[in-house]
A = this chain, B = another copy of it.
């Protein structure tokens, strides 16, 4: 009864949506970003190309959405009891996500494209980046409750610091994985966490 606008005609198939996103991930794994073809995705999804183009403007948009699903499913922040453990946990989790063949190439590729495409950048931000950033905010709030970090009264400064921490964590993990092409193993995760926690403590102590 409550079709908001004068909606008419056959509704879009939700099944098609799912099949397309699943096929996209499968093709990413098998062929990689470079050889991923919208025609191939459509064929694998058992769907006509037009159906795909009706929903996504192109390869970039499709892949962002397909990858974003993974971030939804695999990023969370259980309370591990200390700031150090929380950071190390999120580092490992993010590294595990980046290690999947469907995210590895795809993520960097869409980021590369996004430098020339404002709409794409916005889509990446809302679908992927903001969800990660929320983990940082949650982690800090917990650390503040535990007394590990001081409360920052100035909201602007607080936001800036959160952004900085986010760039440091995500940037380091991405760089280690993709550019240095070395694994994020337990040792590296511990070393990195130590460095970061040390820096945060120094900043907290220094400002105290």
A interface list, Cβ under 8 A from B: 32-34, 104-109, 111-116, 121, 124-125, 129, 160-161, 163-164, 166-168, 170-176, 178-182, 187-188, 191-192, 194-203, 206
Q: Is B188's CB under 8 angstroms from A164's CB?
A: yes
Q: Is B206's CB under 8 angstroms from A198's CB?
A: yes
Q: Is B113's CB under 8 angstroms from A111's CB?
A: no
User: How far does the alpha carbon of A104 sit from the alpha carbon of B167 in the complex, in Å?
Assistant: 17
Can you pick out 15 interface pairs between chain A and chain B where the beta carbons lie within 8 Å of each other? A33-B113, A105-B113, A106-B112, A107-B112, A114-B178, A114-B181, A160-B187, A166-B180, A168-B168, A168-B171, A170-B175, A171-B171, A194-B203, A196-B199, A198-B198
**Dominant secondary structure of chain A at its interface with chain B:** helix
User: How far does the alpha carbon of A203 sit from the alpha carbon of B164 in the complex, in Å?
Assistant: 20
User: Which chain B residue has the least Cβ–Cβ distance from A192?
Assistant: B164
**Complex copy number for this chain:** 4
Q: Is A179's CB under 8 angstroms from B111's CB?
A: yes
User: How far does the alpha carbon of A111 sit from the alpha carbon of B108 in the complex, in Å?
Assistant: 7
Among the interface residues A107, A164, A179, A200, which one has the most CB atoms of the partner chain B within 10 A? Answer: A179
User: How far does the alpha carbon of A172 sit from the alpha carbon of B194 in the complex, in Å?
Assistant: 17
User: Which chain B residue has the least Cβ–Cβ distance from A205?
Assistant: B198
Contact of A164 among B105, B124, B191, B198 (CB under 8 A): B191
Known: A171-B173, A175-B170. A105 touches B109 (CB 8 A): no
User: Which chain B residue has the least Cβ–Cβ distance from A35?
Assistant: B116
Measured between beta carbons, the chain B residues less than 8 angstroms from A107 are 112
Measured between beta carbons, the chain B residues less than 8 angstroms from A171 are 168, 170-176, 179
User: How far does the alpha carbon of A191 sit from the alpha carbon of B163 in the complex, in Å?
Assistant: 11
Contact of A179 among B129, B178, B191 (CB under 8 A): B129
User: How far does the alpha carbon of A104 sit from the alpha carbon of B170 in the complex, in Å?
Assistant: 18
Interface contacts beyond A167-B180, A167-B192: sample of 11 additional A-B pairs, CB < 8 Å, sorted by A: A115-B178, A121-B181, A129-B179, A161-B191, A164-B172, A168-B168, A168-B172, A171-B173, A175-B175, A194-B206, A198-B200
